[in-house]
Amino acid sequence: MRAYPVADGIWWVGAIDWNLRDFHGYETPSGSTYNAYLVRGSEKTALIDTVKEPFVPELLSRISSVMDPAEVDLIVVNHVEPDHNGGLRDVMAAMPRARVVASPSGVRGVAEYHDGLAVDAVTADDAIDLGGKTLRFLPMPMVHWPDSMFTYCPESKTLMPNDAFGQHYASEERFADELGLDAALEQLGIYYANILLPLGAQVAKAVEKVLATGWEIDVIAPSHGVGWRGSDIAAAVGRYRRWTAGEKRDKAVVAYGTMWGSTASLAARVVDGLAAGGVEASLHDIAVTPIAHIAYELLEAKALVLGSPTLHHGMLYRVSGLLTYLEGLRPTGRLAAAFGSYGWGGGAVKQMRERLEKAGFELHAEDFAVKFRPTAEDLAAAEAWGRAIAEAVRG
Ligand code: FEO
């Protein structure tokens, strides 16, 4: 397997996981990559990050197309989550002379994950000279874990920020300009919505912290998906600024579960009402649309309209699953409204309302519930309710 040059003296030597379909509950229909980079100076070579454990042979094969892995001098652990650090022990076995470094929190994380394995700490004050290539480090707590760190090579003007600016997307392309900028930005948004949304304040600080260094950056080489170079860097940074600032548009996401079609027919009319009220709407049956896609749809939306029939006095389990997921993502600063049908005693709408509040939404004043199969009047009322939500969204 071959390595891929990404900047002067820097090669991509990662692994492509075409078959990944779940990343801790986030559906990944397009797989992912675990990116690692080889930085070669005139005297020493460093490997920036390793890969998920089963992919170590692929990493070593790609390194072997450039040099003997046994001659690597330094391994930088930017992040201890197992998709980057899981293969560390196997990689170290293939690189017996390599020193291993991580952020101070990363040192603790490596020891905890790898049964006491001791590695060295680096901070923003450190610089490691590889001979004509230098490595600088910026600890970036909570982008994505407390141990997260960015590594920078000034001579190649390349930033390796690990999870930041990544996407779960498997491809042979290594840069956004090869994949297509629009497709890459969409994947960037899906990743941000599902991984980084609750960490927006820390991501905003990270962007400003890098800009404050004055580092020149020609290449952003993240740990997942494609990298960014040229004018695409400004496009990716612009999206991060928009999302961390919480910018939204007049859009509502309508998501529902249904038993016999009653809540589905209400949902369709709620969408009609939103559209009539001048609000963009998207409609998702939770049994069909992956939760990760609903989270992405919410990224720039001002409202979530959630529907469920009542089953055993409560909401459908898939609706509850979506709410559990959203409680983790904390999509605050958005309106939410609950609706649904019921056969005799209700319960789902009240339950959804409580859970939406717990997830950080502001609740629309009125819920909407219909007994049994909606009549023509009920459907018209659902549309009017959607229109009232549109007014709240636009107001
Ligand atoms: Fe790609 Fe937070 O690990």
- Average confidence (pLDDT) over 341-369: 96
The number of angstroms, rounded, from the C-alpha of 138 to the middle of its chain's C-alpha atoms is: 21
Same domain, 210 and 269: no
Same domain, 16 and 120: yes
Q: What is the structure's pLDDT at 287? A: 97
The number of angstroms, rounded, from the C-alpha of 201 to the middle of its chain's C-alpha atoms is: 15
CA 148 to ligand 1: nearest atom: 2
d(CA 155, CA 11): 14
Q: Where are the alpha helices (DSSP H) in the chain?
A: 56-64, 82-85, 88-94, 104-113, 176-179, 181-191, 200-213, 232-244, 262-276, 291-298, 317-329, 348-358, 376-394
Same domain, 168 and 300: no
Same domain, 109 and 240: yes
Same domain, 333 and 193: no
End-to-end CA distance of the chain: 56
And the tokens for 342? 């019921």
Same domain, 177 and 223: yes
Same domain, 176 and 229: yes
State the Rg of the chain over Cα: 24
- Average confidence (pLDDT) over 49-74: 98
Q: What is the structure's pLDDT at 318? A: 97
Same domain, 62 and 14: yes
pLDDT in tens, 281-320: 999 999 999 999 999 999 999 999 999 999 999 999 999 9
Label residue 349 by pLDDT band (50, 70, 90). Answer: very high
Give percent of the chain with pLDDT exceeding 90: 99
Label residue 265 by pLDDT band (50, 70, 90). Answer: very high
- Residue where a domain terminates, one of 244, 264, 295: 244
Find the CATH number of the domain harbouring 265. 3.40.50.360
Q: What is the structure's pLDDT at 354? A: 97
- Average confidence (pLDDT) over 254-264: 98
Catalytic residue from among 26, 191, 192, 256: 191
Same domain, 96 and 235: yes
Lowest mean pLDDT among 24-28, 29-33, 84-88, 169-173: 24-28
Label residue 173 by pLDDT band (50, 70, 90). Answer: very high
Show Cβ contacts of residue 211 under 8 Å, excluding neighbours closer than 6 positions. Answer: none
Question: Is the minimum distance from the CB of 49 to ligand 1 under 6 angstroms?
Answer: no
Find the CATH number of the domain harbouring 93. 3.60.15.10
Average pLDDT of the chain, as a whole number: 97
- What does pTM read for this prediction? 0.96
CA 145 to ligand 1: nearest atom: 2
Q: What is the structure's pLDDT at 111? A: 98
Q: Where are the alpha helices (DSSP H) in 214-330?
A: 232-244, 262-276, 291-298, 317-329
- Average confidence (pLDDT) over 326-340: 97
Question: Is the minimum distance from the CB of 32 to ligand 1 under 6 angstroms?
Answer: no
Q: What is the structure's pLDDT at 250? A: 98
Same domain, 292 and 186: no
In which domain, by residue range, is 182 found?
A: 4-244
Question: Is the minimum distance from the CB of 387 to ligand 1 under 6 angstroms?
Answer: no
- Average confidence (pLDDT) over 249-278: 98
- Residue where a domain terminates, one of 244, 261, 287: 244
Q: What is the structure's pLDDT at 127? A: 98
